[in-house]
Amino acid sequence: MAIFVNENTKVVVQGLTGGQGRYHGLRNRDYGTNVVGGVTPGKGGQDVDGIPVFDSVTEAVEATGADASFVAVPPKFASGAILEAAEAGIAFVVCITEGIPAQDEAMTYNVLVRNHPGTRLLGPNCPGVISPGKCNIGITAGEIAQNPTADGPNVGIVSRSGTLTYQALYELKQAGIGVSTCVGIGGDPVPGTNFIDCLERFQSDPETHAIMMIGEIGGSAEEEAAAFIDANVTKPMAAYIAGVTAPPGKKMGHAGAIVSGGKGTAQGKMLALSEAGVKVGVNPTEAGELMTEIIRELS
């Protein structure tokens, strides 16, 4: 079944006429994703390699029946684009934009929760989501993802790190392990979708038989996920936490990856996950090997 997106998902690309929107939108289309339109104000009536462009998301939805949006616009326009998609009735919005101010992220998230509870935001500052063989929204290279098999066992992946998302996909592909869905939630302080959202969906997805989680230093999302896993997740899991050697108080790439006041350390997150029954690797490759062992036991 996959989670969030599948072969029936209809995608509109906000910013399709821009450099990044065009490049990744066409890659998604060529992968097999049902990209039905693009949106750029003032450029309605044009097309990008056969994909029609509309002036607004509302027009695109009315013309195409789109139910998902891929936001690929600069930071100062991203919040407006996300809310425009929600106002048009889009159920699932993927925003890859990096550099959105935390205040704007918080405002956008709270407006969505208050006014548009039917819209789920993935991101911002994330690689997106891929249900291999079905749908790819974002910047993940589809060729590194192994399609799931009908009988499984298949793995669901959720990750804060874009680069490590790709490594997890490729580690599993090298082992011949299928992936139901891979979700990159992004590393910003206010993500639209968190670990628990994904774990809950993977737990109830019959196509997902095991779960791989990749976290990083900063914040308490991994500890909260560990508590949820302990209480609610019965499927076997492997995990990796990035940032073991990160110095306290120093920003490490992601805006959310800051250790302060002794909280948010890699060691603390690893311990919490281990106590919840998750097999935790000391590096990404070992996490992949642990997942391979899990799949071997399930086969």
Compute the half-sphere exposure of residue 296: CA atoms within 13 Å on the CB side of its CA: 7
Q: Are 210 and 177 in contact (CB under 8 A)?
A: no
What backbone phi and psi angles, to 5 degrees, belong to 205? -90, 120
Q: Are 238 and 212 in contact (CB under 8 A)?
A: yes
In this structure, are strands 47-48 and 279-281 parallel, antiparallel, or unpaired?
unpaired
Rounded Cα distance, 145 and 56, in Å: 33
Rounded Cα distance, 273 and 227, in Å: 8
Which residues form the catalytic set?
Answer: 254
Tokens of 268: 């603390």
